C-alpha cells in the first residue's frame, strides 16, 4: 500500500492555488508544491492539521491508501 493525497482535488474544489494555500496556512510553498505534485515522502502532523482546517475536511478526505502494484 502507498499513501496518496487529494490536495490537488481539494485545491481545485476550493478554487485555490499554491500561493493561496501558503498565505492561508503559513505552510511553505515548497511543502505545498511537493504535496500537490505527489513528490512528498513525509508529511508532518501539523501540516495535515493545517490543511484539514483550511479545507474543513477530515484526514481521510486528504490522505488515502492505494494498492502498490510494483511488487
**Band (71; pLDDT cuts 50, 70, 90):** low
What is the reported pTM? Answer: 0.88
The pLDDT value given to residue 69? 75
CB neighbour class for 7 (10 Å; exposed up to 12, middle 13-18, buried from 19)? buried
The domains found in the chain, sorted by start residue, are 2-66 (1.10.260.40)
The per-residue pLDDT for 26 is 97
Q: Give me 41's grid cell.
A: 515522502
Enter the C-alpha cell of residue 18: 499554491
Res 70: pLDDT: 64
pLDDT tens-digit map of 20-55? 999 999 999 999 999 999 999 899 999 999 999 999
Amino acid at each position: 500500500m502507498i499513501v496518496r493525497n487529494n490536495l490537488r482535488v481539494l485545491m481545485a474544489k476550493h478554487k485555490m492555488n499554491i500561493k493561496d494555500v501558503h498565505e492561508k496556512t503559513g505552510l511553505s510553498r515548497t511543502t505545498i508544491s511537493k504535496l500537490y505534485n505527489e513528490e512528498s515522502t513525509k508529511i508532518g502532523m501539523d501540516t495535515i492539521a493545517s490543511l484539514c482546517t483550511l479545507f474543513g475536511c477530515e484526514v481521510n478526505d486528504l490522505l488515502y491508501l492505494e494498492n502498490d502494484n510494483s511488487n
